[in-house]
Amino acid sequence: MTEPQSLTKWKFRHAVLIWIGIVANMAFALPLLFCPSVILAFFGIPDDPAAWPRLSGLLLGIVSIFYIPATIDIDRYRLIAWLAVFPSRTFGTIFCITMVFVLGQPVGLLAGAVLDGTFGAVTLYCLIKIVRLEAAIAQGTTR
């Protein structure tokens, strides 16, 4: 028999551990984003150009897998559907545009901006339509 307080404690512990993991990830992510050579040199990691696209591909694959629950049951995983638009697709678009137009990186990175921007805009439109339809149904203003 599970006591409600015990369940609540375990949910709290889980949330705390997830947040500690997020903070630990950010301790690596932010320096890698803003000063990658410094953090690589700190850990003695060579600046191998082929490793970074592979890591990016792996991370993109992992992020993409997290989109799946919302496709299976959008009512249950509504938050994930919104998170797929913001921050995921939105930040991907902003990152690629910033890399090209602010930091002078190759124009090919705009392919990522077009991809994320297109899917982000289209799925945002779908989510807004869904929310409006649900509101109309709840108010009884639609058939």
Angle at 109 between CA 107 and CA 115, to 5 degrees: 125
**Predicted local confidence at residue 4, as pLDDT:** 77
**Predicted local confidence at residue 52, as pLDDT:** 85
Q: What is the pLDDT of residues 60-74, one digit of tens each?
A: 999 999 999 999 999
* DSSP state, residue 74: T
DSSP, residue by residue, 108-119: GGHHHHHHHHHH
**Predicted local confidence at residue 2, as pLDDT:** 59
**Predicted local confidence at residue 82, as pLDDT:** 96
Query: What is the token pair recorded at 14?
Result: 């889980």
**Predicted local confidence at residue 98, as pLDDT:** 96
| pTM recorded for the entire structure | 0.79
**Predicted local confidence at residue 75, as pLDDT:** 95
Q: What is the pLDDT of residues 20-36, one digit of tens each?
A: 999 999 998 999 888 98
Residues (pLDDT < 50) of the chain are none
